[in-house]
Amino acid sequence: MLVNFNEILKDAKKNSYAVPHFNINNLEWARNILEQMQELNLPVILGVSEGAASYMGGFYTIRVMVEGLIKDLNITIPVCLHLDHGGSFESCKKAIDAGFTSVMIDASKYELEKNKEITKQVVDYAHPKGVSVEAEVGHVGGTEDNVYGDVFRATLEDCFEITKTGIDALAPALGSVHGLYKGEPNLDFDRMKQINESLSIPLVLHGGTGIPYDMIKKAISCGISKININTELQVTWHKAVCDFIKENPTVYDPRKVIGSGKAPMKAKVLELINVFNEKHLKPNSTDNNII
Ligand code: 13P
């Protein structure tokens, strides 16, 4: 079932665990993640960047593909189909019109007033359609869709101001970066905790790849309810496929080559869920019906 993220993140915030947001790049990514999360009987957010959307053909293709997988694979967990880092109102509108159940409007490159204005426009369009909205203040650094940016940490005042737009979740930039870290991540846990205690909406941690697991657990204890992972699954898949090609240089069937990344990807998803949500990790248990 495609849902917005409101109920799943509300439960995560209340019970101090994090729901995974995994970026998808193709059918195999979506399938592997859905299968693993179904085995765990836990909800999942499938994130789609604008670059990934254009790679796969467009928002409509992706929505139909994900709904098809849900039906054909008998996926019964809540699945949220979420535009990641929508760069404009128009991009969010396109995703919503194609049936996405959630969007992130990332107007963090603008100063606060303009960020608020664009975010409010998205909220006003999304909410009557039952679509949830995430926004960003400060700026998550690193490389996303081949674009590099520096980190600007969010202030409590900016976080408070952006919530006036009616958003459902907030990604305050607090030192994490997209892609691989150079050295140890430097997250501002004190401010994370302070923002969480001051706001009623769930908080999102971008740039989940490469953050040591004890820091991820600390971030969850400071109020993070949604963690975004993209690069980690790409690196896992890439290594598996390189090994496969090295060992089987004459195999050219794409199902075998691409598919050689399936088991390692599923194992990585499981490993991450162990960190994000160990309490609920009871495979095939009906107790996992947390919403
Ligand atoms: P990583 O690529 O660092 O995992 O970041 C993903 C992300 O934050 C997507 O919004």
Please write the tens of the pLDDT for every residue from 113-168.
999 999 999 999 999 999 999 999 998 777 666 666 666 789 999 999 999 999 99
- Note the pTM of the prediction, 2 decimals: 0.94
23 CA distance to ligand 1 middle (Å): 8
Helix, strand, coil distribution of the chain in percent, nearest 5: 50, 20, 30
| Amino acid identity at 27 | L
Distance from the first to the final alpha carbon of the chain:
13
Q: Is the model's pLDDT at 200 over the cut of 80?
A: yes
Whether the CB-CB separation of 81 and 62 falls below 8 Å is answered with yes
Q: How much of the chain, in percent, has pLDDT values that exceed 90?
A: 86
* Three-class secondary structure of residue 241 per DSSP: helix
Cα(151)–Cα(135) distance, integer angstroms? 16
Residue type, 165: T
CA distance 91 to 259: 31
Q: Is the CB of 232 under 6 A from ligand 1?
A: yes
* Mean pLDDT for the stretch of residues 206-229: 97
| 289 pLDDT more than 70 | no
pLDDT of 5 above 70:
yes
| Nearest in space to 29 (alpha carbons), one of 263, 272, 262, 229 | 262
Which residue CA neighbors atom 1 of ligand 1 most closely?
A: 207
Q: Is 277 in the pocket of ligand 1 (CB under 6 A)?
A: no
Query: Mean pLDDT score of the chain, rounded to an integer?
Result: 94
Mutate to test the pocket of ligand 1, among 21, 25, 106, 144 (most ligand atoms within 8 A of CB): 144
CA distance 140 to 119: 17
Is 268 close to ligand 1, i.e. is its CB under 6 Å away?
no
Residue 269: HSE in the Cβ half-sphere, 13 Å Cα cutoff: 30
β-sheet bridge partners, residue 205: 227
Structural contact between residues 80 and 102, judged by C-beta atoms closer than 8 angstroms: yes
- Any residues with CB less than 8 A from the CB of 88 and at least 6 apart, and which? 118
The closest of 206, 118, 216 to 169, measured between CA atoms, is 206
